[in-house]
């Protein structure tokens, strides 16, 4: 008989930014299949999701992968939070996604900052003052430029062993800032994988005495913020071959600025200033190969005859990928696409 460790993972009710919670369930000879993972419960009064007088909430498993970071046989179980009657809890962003046929594909570029709790600054920053200005750190190699690579490589290997579809990593523009990219066919799975990758990143940082800072502007001043750029497509975008269709879909985003910004991460106004490769938070623009636009039309899409994808550059690093995907899908479906 094999004792298996199932780590049930969910999002709490903290505002304005939800955080991850988890607890371990022991099962005998667990198959590793999602359908065999049982619904479990937790105390919602301790996670800002219920009152003490009626605190039982349900954890519904929705995605499962092996847990490579644990001794013995383990699994990571991403869960939706349900009310005791089985309906989605108000904090359940995954339940707002309407993409049942997985027509929408998402590639999220998750930026983050390795944070030194002793100095309360990014890893690599001196305890007093600042390092040299931005320029040498992006995609860098070498001491004094790329810091924390051992943490990043360990996290990457854990993700790959877990079967998460990480497509790349790189050092980012600010010292101590890094990025990983995940792609999935289906909005819910893309969100599941980002959250599980974040979980593994937080756990890896634990082991190194560090924390992960997902704030959109971790260091004030002339330093890049952290985003979670959302690359997306559906059958129309992948096959239309029409600039007019692309422009109609981009234009559908302009009147819905508030709906998107509301779910694109707390304190995003500190990042979306019109500087450091961003558009201002209250403005909307789109353009080919324009990293200062709200929506970038990749040059690869144009060179492929207007068949490809779009990139919404506005989501912050602390945004919920479920809510980001839900908002994008709703807007794309609302577009008045020419026949």
pLDDT digits over 149-199, tens only?
A: 999 999 999 999 999 999 999 999 999 999 999 999 999 999 999 999 999
CA distance 310 to 106: 10
- Mean pLDDT calculated for residue range 27-47: 97
Can you give the pTM of this predicted structure? 0.97
Residue 98 forms part of a structural domain: no
For the stretch 62-115, pLDDT in tens is: 999 999 999 999 999 999 999 999 999 999 999 999 998 999 999 999 999 999
- Whole-number pLDDT of residue 202: 98
Residue 339 has pLDDT above 80, yes or no: no
Do 277 and 211 lie in one domain? The reply is yes
Do 193 and 318 lie in one domain? The reply is yes
- Whole-number pLDDT of residue 52: 74
Domain boundary among 91, 114, 144: 91
Residue 99 forms part of a structural domain: no
- Whole-number pLDDT of residue 311: 98
Domain boundary among 34, 61, 91: 91
- Whole-number pLDDT of residue 338: 84
Segment (H or E) for 136: none
Contact assessment for residue 162 and residue 68, using Cβ atoms and an 8 Å cutoff: yes
Do 163 and 24 lie in one domain? The reply is no
CATH label of the domain that carries residue 125: 3.30.590.10
Residue 68 forms part of a structural domain: yes
CATH label of the domain that carries residue 86: 3.10.20.70
- Whole-number pLDDT of residue 58: 98
The pairing of beta strand 286-288 with beta strand 295-297: parallel
Residue 33 has pLDDT above 80, yes or no: yes
Residue 289 forms part of a structural domain: yes
Domain boundary among 91, 118, 147: 91
Higher pLDDT, 155 or 337: 155
The domain tally of the chain equals 2
Do 197 and 310 lie in one domain? The reply is yes
Do 162 and 273 lie in one domain? The reply is yes
CA distance 55 to 136: 51
Do 162 and 63 lie in one domain? The reply is no
Residue 100 forms part of a structural domain: no
Do 197 and 78 lie in one domain? The reply is no
Residue 154 forms part of a structural domain: yes
Tell which residue, 163, 154, 171, 168, has the closest CA to residue 207. 154
Residue 165 forms part of a structural domain: yes
- Whole-number pLDDT of residue 217: 98
State which residues form the domain around 18.
3-91
Do 249 and 119 lie in one domain? The reply is yes
Residue 200 forms part of a structural domain: yes
Do 141 and 247 lie in one domain? The reply is yes
Residue 53 has pLDDT above 80, yes or no: no
For the stretch 282-335, pLDDT in tens is: 999 999 999 999 999 999 999 999 999 999 999 999 999 999 999 999 999 999
pLDDT > 70 fraction of the chain, expressed in percent and rounded: 100
CA distance 295 to 313: 6
- Mean pLDDT calculated for residue range 5-10: 98
E-state strands within 37-165 = 40-43, 56-66, 73-82, 105-116, 121-122
Region for residue 237 given its phi and psi (left: phi exceeds 0; alpha: psi -120 to 50; beta: otherwise): alpha
Residue 12 has pLDDT above 80, yes or no: yes
Do 276 and 156 lie in one domain? The reply is yes
The pairing of beta strand 73-82 with beta strand 3-11: parallel
Q: What's the whole-number average pLDDT of the chain?
A: 97
Do 206 and 279 lie in one domain? The reply is yes
Do 42 and 176 lie in one domain? The reply is no
């Amino acid at each position: 008989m094999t004792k298996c460790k199932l780590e049930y993972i969910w999002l709490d009710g903290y505002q304005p930014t939800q955080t991850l919670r988890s607890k371990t369930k022991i099962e005998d000879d667990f198959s590793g299949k999602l359908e065999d993972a049982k619904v479990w419960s937790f105390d919602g009064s301790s996670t800002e999701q219920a009152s003490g007088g009626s605190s039982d909430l349900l954890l519904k498993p929705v995605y499962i992968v092996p847990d490579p970071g644990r001794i013995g046989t383990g699994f990571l179980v991403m869960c939706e939070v349900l009310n005791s009657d089985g309906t989605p809890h108000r904090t359940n962003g995954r339940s707002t996604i309407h993409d049942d046929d997985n027509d929408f594909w998402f590639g999220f570029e998750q930026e983050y900052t390795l944070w030194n709790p002793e100095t309360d600054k990014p890893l690599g920053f001196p305890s007093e003052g600042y390092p040299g200005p931005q320029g040498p750190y992006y995609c860098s190699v070498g001491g004094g430029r790329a810091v924390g690579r051992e943490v990043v490589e360990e996290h990457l290997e854990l993700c790959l062993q877990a079967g998460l579809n990480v497509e790349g990593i790189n050092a980012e523009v600010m010292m101590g800032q890094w990025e990983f990219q995940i792609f999935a066919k289906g909005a819910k799975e893309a969100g599941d994988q980002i959250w599980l990758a974040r979980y593994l990143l937080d756990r890896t940082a634990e082991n190194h005495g560090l924390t992960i800072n997902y704030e959109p502007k971790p260091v004030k001043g002339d330093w890049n913020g952290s985003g979670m750029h959302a690359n997306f497509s559906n059958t129309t975008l992948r096959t239309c071959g029409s600039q007019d269709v692309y422009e109609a879909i981009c234009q559908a985003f302009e009147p819905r600025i508030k709906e998107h910004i509301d779910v694109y991460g707390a304190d995003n106004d500190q990042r979306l200033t019109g500087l450091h490769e961003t558009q201002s938070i209250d403005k909307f623009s789109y353009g080919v190969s324009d990293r200062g636009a709200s929506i970038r039309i990749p040059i690869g899409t144009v060179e492929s005859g207007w068949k490809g994808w779009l990139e919404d550059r506005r989501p912050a690093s602390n945004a919920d990928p479920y809510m980001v995907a839900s908002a994008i899908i709703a807007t794309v479906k609302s577009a008045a696409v020419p026949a």
